[in-house]
Amino acid sequence: MRKREFALLVGPSMLVMFGLLVVPLYRTIQWSFQEVQYGAPGVFVGLQNYTAALTDPRFGRAVLFTVVLTLFVTAALVVLGYVIATLVNQIGKLRPVVLGILLVAYVLPAVVGAAAFSWLFDTNFGGVANLVFTRLTGTEILWFTDVWPNRVMIILFTIWHLLPFSMLIILAGLQGVPDEIIEAAKIDGATSLKSHLYVIVPTIRGVLFFVTLISIMDVLRTFDQLIPLAPQAVEIGNESIMLYIYNIAFREGSERLGLGSAVSVLTILLILLMLTPFIRDTFKEARAAR
């Protein structure tokens, strides 16, 4: 492909990316060093916004909640996604039907799916799941106001919502595993479990890394599903970083865009920190493949 043709094909996309990513990022970094009010130019305050964020216990709770949620849900997505993908890979003609049913949870907007999911635990809408847990435990569980029941509900929804994507990507990786190496492992006496652990998983290691990367980024951005699932998020400590940014920058009376921008920059650094091991391994595999 000639340079001119390449520029014509890539140029529009680069301009859109510059406008939608680079310019807002520059503005966010600029505002993070300023005190910003709507309709007025920002006033430079140095590191005051970063100091306020890092010394705010509420921000610390939001970071802890988000990181723990990310680690737990990501691990569940990779493990359950692999198990379900393995089962689906063994289905014949009904595979498209099964995939269509499984993907419903993922294609639903998060806030819509979360609202419907919350009805399972809300007695005002029947609360089927709440009724089952009440019968099993003998006590009434307050899913929306108690800390850990609410966290369990958030974790269950996040896994339910993101699992189809993980499963689909892993399924694509499983379909690319050569049948010859699996047959060779069986001839050598490998059990089904050992075939997965020592043959199939190493073969699709890059796919699993990709699923892990996307899952971490998706869960770290947890926001809109908390509106119906955790209406008392601030009071009970189940506020995610994204919800914290929204609350302090736009919702709680005194809009603090500078502080919200500083937290956004810190969030970007946190995402890069959590993704660094996987990005490094991905680059190593890319070099080895050359």
Question: What is the per-residue pLDDT across 188-197, written as a single tens digit (0 to 9) for each?
Answer: 888 888 888 8
Closest by Cα among 19, 82, 62, 49 to 261? 49
Q: Tokens for 62, please give them.
A: 């939001």
Q: Is the dihedral of CA 123, 127, 129, 133 positive or negative?
A: positive
- Give the DSSP H or E segment for 43: strand 43-44
**CA dist., res. 9 & res. 12, Å (int):** 7
Closest by Cα among 216, 232, 238 to 64? 238
Question: CB neighbours of 250 closer than 8 A, spacing ≥ 6?
Answer: 260
**CA dist., res. 237 & res. 176, Å (int):** 44
Q: Tokens for 58, please give them.
A: 């509420």
Q: Which amino acid is at 227?
A: I
Residue 288: pLDDT over 70: no
Residue 286: pLDDT over 70: no
pLDDT exceeding 90 applies to what percent of the chain? 38
pLDDT value of residue 285: 67
Helices (H), 120-223: 128-137, 147-175, 179-187, 192-195, 201-203, 205-220
For the ranges 67-71, 146-150, 248-252, which has the lowest average pLDDT?
Answer: 248-252
pLDDT in tens, 8-38: 878 888 888 777 788 888 888 998 898 887 7
- Give the DSSP per-residue string, 30-92: HHTTEE--TTS--EE-TTHHHHHHHT-HHHHHHHHHHHHHHHHHHHHHHHHHHHHHHHHHT--
Task: Look over the chain and give the mean of its residue pLDDT values, rounded to a whole number.
Answer: 87
